[in-house]
Amino acid sequence: MTFVHNTVKRIVHGCGSIKEAASEAKALGGTRAIIVTDPGLAKLGVHKVLEETLLAGGLAVSVYDQAELEPSVDSIAHCADAARDFGADIIFGFGGGSALDTTKACAVLLGNEGTIDQYFGMGKVKNPLPPMILVPTTAGTGSEMTSISVLADTKNGGKWGVVSDYMYATAVILDPELTVGLPPSVTAATGIDAFVHAMESFCGKADTPITNALNIHAMKLIARSMRRAYTNGQDLAARADMLYASTIAGMGFSNTQNGIIHAVGTAIPREYHMPHGVAIACLAPMCMAFNYMARPEKYAEVAMILGEKYDSDTLALAERASHRMSALLKDIRIAEGLQPYGVTRSDLPLIAERAAGNARLIGNNPRPANAKLILEMLEASYS
Ligand SMILES: [Fe+2]
C-alpha cells in the first residue's frame, strides 16, 4: 500500500514573525493583498499589525472583515467578489478556523468558476488557486495546515467540506504573540479541538508513521501546556506550545481525516450555535469511551500522554484515556455532553443520522459506527 504525505510548503514561525508578512508576500509576486478576517478581530484591531506591515512593505491592502463564524455558501461568494473588486493578487487569511476556512474557500472561487457548493467533497477543485498566506490567531483548528474548508450548507443543513490539494496555503505564519489576547474559554475549546485532531488522526484507520510522529508530539505539547495557557494567557511559552501543536496536528490530520468526534460535532444543528471547539471537546470523553476497545494500544498511549502511568494491562490503560480527558475538561471549565448546551433529546436521532452519514470521518474511525450506535452513545449521556 502506498501513502502520500502532503503539507504546506513554508512555515514562518516565532514570536514577532508576523513582521515577515510583506517580504513573504512579495516573494510570491504579491502587490495587492486582501486580508480576510472576522468582524470580532477587526473590531479589536488585531489585524492592524498585519495590515501595517504589508503597507510598510509597499503593498496595497484591502481588509475584508466579514468572515462568518460558520461560513455559509453566500458568504464565500461575497468574499470572492470583494477580492475581485480590489484586484487582489495575494490573499491573506487572518484569524481562527472560520476566517481561514473562508479564505481557502474564497481562493477556490478566485481560481475556479461557479459557487462554492459545487466543490463540496473531495478533489473537485479543478484549477490552482492564487498565492495564499494563512495566519492563525487561535491555536486550535489547524486550518492553516489543511486542504479543507468546512462550510455551512444553509440549503440542506449541516456542515460540509471542500477538500483539495490545491487548498494548501502557499505559506503559513505562526506568531504566538498573536494568540496572547485569547480569552480562557476560547483557549480551552480551541486547545481541546487541536488535541482531538491529533488523537483522531493518531487512533484512526489511516494513520501512518509520519502522521503518528506528528500527532504524538502535538498531543504532548497540548497536554503539558493546556492548563497553563488557560490560566495565564500571557504565558508565551505555553502559547507557543499550543500554537505549534495545533499546526503540527493539522499536518497530521490533513493526511488522515478525523473520526467520530468530528462526525458528531459537525452534525449538531446550526441553530444551537455551538462553537466548533466546544462541540468537539464536550463529545470527546464519550467518544473515546466508545472507541478505545477497537485500538487499545493507541488509546493506552493517549492515556499516558494525558498523565497516566504505564500499565501492562493495555486495555485498562486505554480505558483511562477518557477519564483523563474528563479531568482536563473539568479543569478548564468545559461541561461534558450535549445536554448542558441545550441540545434537545429529540434532535439526537438527526445528529446521529448525519454523523453516521459522514463517510469521510466515520470511514477513518477505528470502531465502525452507524446511526444506531451513535444514537445509543448520545442517549446514554442524557439524564
Ligand atoms: Fe476540529
297-353 confidence digits (pLDDT tens):
999 999 999 999 999 999 999 999 999 999 999 999 999 999 999 999 999 999 999
Ligand 1 centroid from CA 318, angstroms = 22
Domain boundary, last residue among 179, 202, 226: 179
Question: Rounded to whole angstroms, what are the CA distances from 366 to 135, 287, 363?
Answer: 32, 11, 8
Q: How confident is the model at residue 155 (pLDDT cuts 50, 70, 90)?
A: confident
Does 3 reside within a domain?
A: no
- What mean pLDDT is reported for the chain? 96
| CATH number of the CATH domain containing 93 | 3.40.50.1970
CA 299/CA 315 separation, integer angstroms: 9
Ligand 1 centroid from CA 123, angstroms = 20
- Pair 221, 336 in one domain: yes
- Pair 155, 195 in one domain: no
What's the mean pLDDT in 261-272? Answer: 94
Does 6 reside within a domain?
A: no
Ligand 1 centroid from CA 186, angstroms = 13
Domain boundary, last residue among 179, 200, 220: 179
Ligand 1 centroid from CA 252, angstroms = 13
Q: Is the dihedral of CA 142, 144, 145, 150 positive or negative?
A: positive
**pLDDT at 340 (0 to 100):** 98
- Pair 169, 192 in one domain: no
Q: How confident is the model at residue 187 (pLDDT cuts 50, 70, 90)?
A: very high
Domain boundary, last residue among 117, 145, 179: 179
What's the mean pLDDT in 218-224? Answer: 98
CA 162/CA 104 separation, integer angstroms: 9
Could you count the other beta carbons within 10 Å of the beta carbon of residue 205?
15
Q: How confident is the model at residue 152 (pLDDT cuts 50, 70, 90)?
A: confident
Ligand 1 centroid from CA 113, angstroms = 28
Looking at the predicted structure, is the pLDDT value of residue 157 above 80? no
**pLDDT at 153 (0 to 100):** 80
- Pair 162, 188 in one domain: no
What is the reported pTM?
0.93
- Pair 109, 164 in one domain: yes
For residue 147, give its domain range.
11-179
Looking at the predicted structure, is the pLDDT value of residue 17 above 80? yes
- Pair 220, 123 in one domain: no
Ligand 1 centroid from CA 317, angstroms = 25
Looking at the predicted structure, is the pLDDT value of residue 154 above 90? no
Torsion of the alpha carbons at 58, 63, 69 and 70, rounded to the nearest 10: -90
Ligand 1 centroid from CA 233, angstroms = 21
Report which of residues 322 and 122 the model is more confident about. 322
**Of 98-112, 149-163, 230-244, which range is least confident?**
149-163
Of the candidates 143, 141, 107, which has an alpha carbon nearest to the alpha carbon of residue 127? Answer: 107
- Pair 191, 101 in one domain: no
- Pair 211, 283 in one domain: yes
Ligand 1 centroid from CA 164, angstroms = 18
Looking at the predicted structure, is the pLDDT value of residue 1 above 90? no
- Pair 204, 155 in one domain: no
CA 264/CA 354 separation, integer angstroms: 8
3-state secondary structure of 343: coil
Cell readout for 199 is 488523537
**pLDDT at 336 (0 to 100):** 98
Torsion region of 211: left, alpha or beta (phi above 0 gives left; psi -120 to 50 gives alpha): alpha
Please state the domain count of the chain.
2
- Pair 230, 306 in one domain: yes
Does 347 reside within a domain?
A: yes
The contacts found for 374-378 with CB under 8 angstroms, 24 or more apart, are: 374/260, 374/263, 374/264, 375/348, 375/349, 377/286, 377/287, 377/290, 378/264, 378/286, 378/338, 378/348, 378/351, 378/352
**pLDDT at 104 (0 to 100):** 98
Ligand 1 centroid from CA 255, angstroms = 14
Does 77 reside within a domain?
A: yes
**pLDDT at 288 (0 to 100):** 98
| CATH number of the CATH domain containing 317 | 1.20.1090.10
3-state secondary structure of 37: coil
Ligand 1 centroid from CA 193, angstroms = 5
- Pair 210, 168 in one domain: no
Ligand 1 centroid from CA 276, angstroms = 6
Does 266 reside within a domain?
A: yes
Ligand 1 centroid from CA 370, angstroms = 21
Report the greatest alpha carbon distance in the chain: 63
Q: How confident is the model at residue 51 (pLDDT cuts 50, 70, 90)?
A: very high
3-state secondary structure of 64: strand
**pLDDT at 156 (0 to 100):** 73
Ligand 1 centroid from CA 280, angstroms = 7
Ligand 1 centroid from CA 141, angstroms = 5
Does 299 reside within a domain?
A: yes
Looking at the predicted structure, is the pLDDT value of residue 70 above 90? no
Cell readout for 372 is 444506531
Ligand 1 centroid from CA 329, angstroms = 16
- Pair 230, 299 in one domain: yes
**pLDDT at 364 (0 to 100):** 97
Ligand 1 centroid from CA 288, angstroms = 15
Contact in structure between 133 and 21 (CB atoms under 8 Å): yes
Ligand 1 centroid from CA 266, angstroms = 9
Ligand 1 centroid from CA 150, angstroms = 10
Cell readout for 54 is 504589508
pLDDT digits (tens, 9 = 90+) for 226-262: 999 999 999 999 999 999 999 999 999 999 999 999 9
CA 234/CA 219 separation, integer angstroms: 21
Ligand 1 centroid from CA 320, angstroms = 22
Strand partners, 121: 162
Q: In what order do the strands lie in the sheet with 132-136?
A: 11-13, 171-174, 132-136, 90-95, 32-36, 60-64
